Chains A and B, each alone.
Chain A
Amino acid sequence: MKLLRVNMTDSQIRWEDVPPQYERLGGRALIAKVLLNEVPPTCDALGPHNKLIFSPGLLGGAMVATAGRLSVGGKSPLTGGTKEANAGGIAGDTLGKAGIKAIIVEGLGKPKQFQVLVIDGDKAELVPAEDVTGLGTYATADRLQEKYGTDASVSCIGQAGEYLMTGAGISTTGERDQRSNHAARGGLGAVMGSKGLKAVVIKKVTGKTVKFQDEQLFRTAAKEYAQKLINDPKLGTKGTQHLYGTASIVGAVNEMGSLPTRNFSVGQFPPSVELRGEKLRELILAREGKVGTRCMPGCVIACRNLFSDETGKPVVGSIQYETIALVGSNLGIENLDDVATLNYMCNDFGLDTIETGAALGVALEAGLAEFGDINGIVGLLKQVGEGTPLGRIIGCGAVTTGRVLGIRRVPACLGQAMPGYDPRSLKGNGVTYATSPQGADHTAGNAFGARKEVPPLGTEGQKALSLRLQIIAAMLDSTGLCLFSRPPIIANPQLMVDMLNGIYGWGWTKDDFDQFNRQVLRDELEFNRLAGKTRNDYRIPEYMREEPLPPHNTVFDVPDSDLDTVFDTL
């Protein structure tokens, strides 16, 4: 495999052999190590010393079911620490097939002179981006695919990334109608904008496949893994994820009193009956949209959807739970058509719907519009796309918005907005939000799926649960697995060990694999320590310890001493 280094200061591109210290790494694990080895931890995240890294997971390109995710990373301008965000789509798989372990983007672009990186087999070049500069992500992807082929992968930023807004993410194209998959969190779109890189185009790879060291070992394990996914009643074609998508949990999270509502002031939203996965499926089928579609090759869960308006015109694919929570109930929005409108706008501007939804919630609390006022909210969001001063404030996320508007109730940890589970009634997630080196991020260790083993309203056991989930998340993000496909691997880690040994011939044991996963977190925590983070940065907002959340009227009361010792046994 090769590394592709792209220096945006002098437009130099070079292919390198993978150095030994990166050979057994991929995805989030590789990003953590590159940051620790090559990026000064105290550097300006939007300056020349930060690096933007695109990397497939270790299974990328091997056509393992649901294992083609693309990791993107760098120092986060939002958290000031390490950052990995990942997305579905076809880029991860394409990079893996092309034998590219990572693209490492360095240096700094010239202001407002964007370029496009085009990779075609063993060739890579930077070309001017004049014809796509200023465009949203949909038009950018359309135009570049017209030029380089509809089967080319396009990863790009929208206006938000060009404006260096710290709520900006990176959009990447997927299968068929799944045009917009986002490595959304942590402001990596702003890092890409700072490099002067508008898009990365990877032309379809032909005649290349992953080379296996023990193909029989790999095939046997990969087949058993896929079969277990297909046979799992929770995940197969009769499963909740396939039928209703991630929105299947709206009803459950609302019932448990953890659904962010009106800037995280309440945990239940009665109109959420109109936002549920059941309603989403009903509307989509009635309007001849699509449910049960997939975002990346080989996915057997297929949890995506394509939402159409009342006339049958496609609006956005895919409406997901986190978006429903943050731009729906969190803003007092009571119907999926309005959620779809806001979702499309965020996708097109290249904004993280979680960060932007949280920032808008703070703005509404400040009185810039009323909760539930879709026209007022659309007006605010338009300003983000236009880059007005107020738009730039909201586009820089919840913490910036709260600071400027004088709002104390900002749902964020380490500078990053919380996703769709209020930690006062799902306390395991609160521990993850507070202690993850990634900042508030449900994909860093989501306790919702473990609610049976540790009751979500109690404090006992949350620390150990969060650590276990954070180690699992590091594994998923480093191998390229979708988090929904984790059950067979958690039940039998040997399946993953066999797949990796089959591809790479490393002779790993389950213990080696466990240490690999733990090392990801060690590297990330060390980078953050060197960046100046102390235990006092890994905290839940003060108001969430004091302000009871209806309907259970609970506060976040896991003691700081537990937060400080989560990683003691790492």
Chain B
Amino acid sequence: MAVDIETFGQLLPGQPRRRTLEIKAPATARDLAVQIGLDPSEIGLITIDGVQSDLDDEVPPGSRLCFFPYVSGG
């Protein structure tokens, strides 16, 4: 099953913002972040299917996972 991943802001500069990852075993947001080359300490917000999530939350197959840098409302 696939997970649709999108990165925002200055995360992974120069790389495509959207990608699809095949996952064969349960994976956390942290696992997938590392797999695509992200430093977890640079992540300010994670959403899974639009719901705010944590690095250690499991990512269901078929879901949409977003990684944001630190963002502040203004």
A257-283 interface code vs B (CB 8 A; 1 in, 0 out) = 100000000001000000011100000
In angstroms, Cα B10 to Cα A239, docked, is 8
A255, B70: Cβ atoms under 8 Å? no
Question: Cβ of A483 and Cβ of B74 under 8 Å apart?
Answer: yes
Q: State whether A246 touches B8 (Cβ < 8 A).
A: no
Partner pick for A238 among B10, B66, B71, B72, CB 8 A cutoff: B10
The answer to whether A484 touches B52 (Cβ under 8 A) is no
With known contacts A234-B70, A240-B69, A255–B47 Cβ distance under 8 A = yes
Known A234-B44, A244-B9, A268-B50: A255·B66 in contact at CB below 8 Å: yes
User: Can you list 21 pairs linking A and B with CB atoms under 8 Å apart?
Assistant: A240-B70, A240-B71, A241-B74, A248-B69, A249-B71, A249-B73, A251-B66, A252-B68, A255-B50, A256-B52, A276-B8, A321-B73, A322-B74, A446-B73, A446-B74, A449-B73, A451-B45, A452-B52, A455-B52, A484-B72, A484-B74
Residues from chain B with Cβ under 8 Å of A234 in the complex: 44, 69-70, 72
What residues of chain B lie closer than 8 Å to A277, measured between beta carbons? Answer: 9
Query: 1/0 per residue B37-54: CB within 8 Å of A?
Result: 000001011010011100
Q: Tell me if A421 counts as interface (CB < 8 A to partner B).
A: yes
Contact A442 B71 (CB under 8 A): no
A552:B50 contact, CB within 8 angstroms: yes
**Bound complex: CA A332 to CA B73 (Å):** 22
B72 to chain A, nearest CB (A): 5
Q: Which of A240, A451, A457, A484 contacts B9 (CB 8 A)?
A: A240
Contacts known (A240-B9, A251-B8); A246 close to B74, Cβ less than 8 A: yes
Return B73 CB to nearest CB of chain A, in Å.
3
> In the complex, are the beta carbons of B47 and A233 less than 8 A apart?
no
A516: which B residues are within 8 A, CB to CB? none
Report chain B residues within 8 Å CB of A350: none
Render A230-248 as a binary contact track against B, CB cut-off 8 A, 1 for contact. 0001100011110110101
Cβ B47 vs Cβ A256 within 8 A: yes
A456 contacts which of B52, B68, B69 (Cβ < 8 Å)? B52
Contact of A321 among B52, B70, B74 (CB under 8 A): B74
A456 to B17, CA, bound (A): 26
Contact partners of B9 in chain A: CB under 8 A: 240, 243-244, 248, 251, 277-278
> A residues bordering B, Cβ < 8 Å?
233-234, 238-241, 243-244, 246, 248-249, 251-252, 255-257, 268, 276-278, 303, 320-322, 421, 442, 446-449, 451-452, 455-457, 483-484, 551-552
Interchain CB contact under 8 A, B68 and A251? yes
**Closest A residue by C-beta to B49:** A551
Residues in B whose Cβ lies below 8 Å from that of A321: 73-74
The 3 A-B residue pairs with the shortest CB-CB distance in the complex, in nearest-first order: A448-B73, A246-B74, A234-B70
Given known A-B contacts A234-B44, A277-B9, A241 and B50 have beta carbons under 8 A apart: no
- The residue in B45, B66, B70, B71 that gathers the most chain A C-beta atoms within 10 A of its C-beta is B71
Q: A240-B44, A244-B9 are in contact. List 5 more A-B contacts (CB 8 A).
A: A240-B9, A240-B70, A248-B71, A320-B74, A551-B50
> Which of the four size classes fits the interface of chain B?
10 to 19
Q: Separation in Å of the A487 CB from the closest CB of chain B? A: 8
B70→A239 contact, CB < 8 A: yes
Bound CA span A238–B13, Å: 12
A257: which B residues are within 8 A, CB to CB? 50
- Bound-state Cα–Cα, A451 to B66, Å: 16
B74 to chain A, nearest CB (A): 4
In the complex, what distance in Å separates the CA atom of A108 from the CA atom of B47?
53
Residue of B50, B52, B74 near A249 (CB, 8 A) is B74
CA distance A566 to B68 in the complex (A): 31
Bound form: Cα–Cα A442–B44 in Å: 21
Cα–Cα distance between A449 and B44 once the two chains are bound (Å): 10
A251's closest neighbor in chain B, by CB? B8
Q: Which of A256, A257, A322 has the most CB of B within 10 A?
A: A256
A255 to B47, CA, bound (A): 7
Question: Considering the chains assembled together, what is the distance between the CA atoms of A452 and B52 in angstroms?
Answer: 8
Given the contacts A256-B52, A278-B8, A449 and B47 also touching, CB distance less than 8 Å: no
For A249, the chain B residues whose CB sits under 8 A away are 71-74
Residues of A within 8 A of B71 (CB): 240, 248-249, 252
**Residue pair A241, B47 in contact (C-beta under 8 Å):** no
Q: Which residues of chain B from 6 to 29 have any CB-CB distance to chain A below 8 Å in the complex? A: 8-10, 17
* CA–CA, A234 and B71, complex, Å: 7
Q: Are A451 and B52 in contact (CB under 8 A)?
A: yes
Instruction: Name A258's closest neighbour in chain B (CB-CB).
Output: B50
Most B-side CB within 10 Å, residue of A249, A268, A421, A457: A249
Name the residue on B nearest A303 (C-beta): B74
Chain B residues with CB below 8 A from A238, complex form: 10
User: How many angstroms from the CA of A255 to the CA of B69 in the assembled complex?
Assistant: 14
Q: State whether A240 and B10 are in contact (beta carbons under 8 Å apart), knowing that A234-B72, A249-B74, A551-B50 are contacts in the complex.
A: yes
Q: Which residue of A lies closest to B68 (CB)?
A: A252
Partner of A241 from B42, B51, B72 at Cβ < 8 Å: B72
Across the interface, which residues of A come within 8 angstroms of B72, CB to CB? 234, 240-241, 249, 448-449, 484
Residue of A nearest to B54 (CB): A452
Contacts of A276 in B (CB 8 A): 8
